[in-house]
Amino acid sequence: MDSNSNNKEATKFNWYPGHIAKAERELKEKLQVIDIVIELRDARIPAASAHQDLSKWAQGKPIITVLNKSDLAAPKKEFISINSKNPASLKQLIKEIEKLSQPILDKYKSKGIIGRPTRVMVVGYPNVGKSSLINKLAQKKKAKVSDKAGVTRQQQWIDAKSKLNIKLLDTPGIIPPKFYSDDQALKLALCNCLGDNAFDHLIIAREGMGLIKEAVEEHYQLEFGNDPVQALAEKKNLKQNGELDLGRAADLFLKDFREAKIGKFCLD
């Protein structure tokens, strides 16, 4: 299979709805009043889920890069790794927030401003777990969480539960107007960061299976042949009207990958 030409097809689906442009505009505006930025990435794709313009937007404000969904990924040492469903995994992140907020609080104290909360904004691609993280830090279910990308549509301030006085800003997931590369688009689609209507499932499944060929062959006990999606449909006997149902096979792979049933990977 010529993976390059198929990969190019993946980016034909340029998903950039109006609300993303608005979300990016509001994010840049709000950064003026923010003290600390948490950039939440997906631990399975720490490079593909990075916002390359974020440090420019943040204009010197501290950015903590955090890999979420570490329970679904192979470990990566360079960053703070968390699992937003498990509060125990947040200790290192909370320490880092507290460390970075101290000089900010001291600065305000020296100006006679006492009790002003540190303002922490959480940003990242859709569906990386921003609202889940905020709910865990706040110890209450204030922000709406869903396994569909693009659920948070409005910024929302939520008070953190901490001995330090912290306000957290939940933000809608944003994607750049253009993907940085075809490889990035593929990985974001694979990890459910783009919304399932934004791409052709067949193309993404084929390309995604190619990235982890050995594990896929092992997990489903099959050989790729010319088309791994077809091989999976044959293996699972997925048919519609007597024909192999490639769409269902593609979705089966995507679901199993996203639930880490095939294995825990770091694709970057």
Binding site for Mg ion (CB under 5 A): 130-131, 152
Considering the complex, what minimum distance in angstroms separates the CB of residue 143 from Mg ion? 6
Cβ-contact 152, 144 below 8 angstroms? yes
Cβ-contact 170, 176 below 8 angstroms? no
Cβ-closest position to Mg ion = 152
Cα separations (Å) of 266 from 146, 191, 250, 263? Answer: 23, 11, 21, 10
Considering the complex, what minimum distance in angstroms separates the CB of residue 80 from ligand GTP? 13
Cα separations (Å) of 240 from 82, 112, 145, 233, 246? Answer: 41, 71, 34, 11, 9
- Amino acid in the structure at residue 256: D
Residue from 46, 62, 173, 228 touching ligand GTP (CB under 6 A): that is 173
Asked if 55 is part of the footprint of ligand GTP (rule: CB under 6 A), the reply reads no
Helix (H, G, I), strand (E, B) or coil at 41: strand
Per CB under 6 A, the segment of 49-57, 139-147, 179-187, 215-223 that binds ligand GTP is: 139-147
- Whichever of 193 and 246 has its CB closer to ligand GTP, that residue is 193
- Whichever of 68 and 152 has its CB closer to Mg ion, that residue is 152
Considering the complex, what minimum distance in angstroms separates the CB of residue 124 from ligand GTP? 6
User: CA torsion sign, 36 to 37 to 40 to 41?
Assistant: negative
Cα separations (Å) of 74 from 14, 15, 81, 159, 267? Answer: 29, 28, 11, 32, 9
Closest CA to 17 of 187, 149, 184, 189: 149
> What torsion, rounded to 10 degrees, do the Cα atoms 84, 87, 91, 92 define?
-20
**Which of ligand GTP, Mg ion, none interacts with 150 (beta carbon under 5 to 8 A by kind)?**
ligand GTP
**Which of Mg ion, ligand GTP, none interacts with 46 (beta carbon under 5 to 8 A by kind)?**
none
**Which of ligand GTP, Mg ion, none interacts with 128 (beta carbon under 5 to 8 A by kind)?**
ligand GTP
Considering the complex, what minimum distance in angstroms separates the CB of residue 187 from Mg ion? 20
Residue from 22, 28, 61, 85 touching ligand GTP (CB under 6 A): that is 85
Interaction site with ligand GTP (CB under 6 A)? 68-69, 71-72, 83-85, 124, 126-132, 145-147, 149-152, 172-173
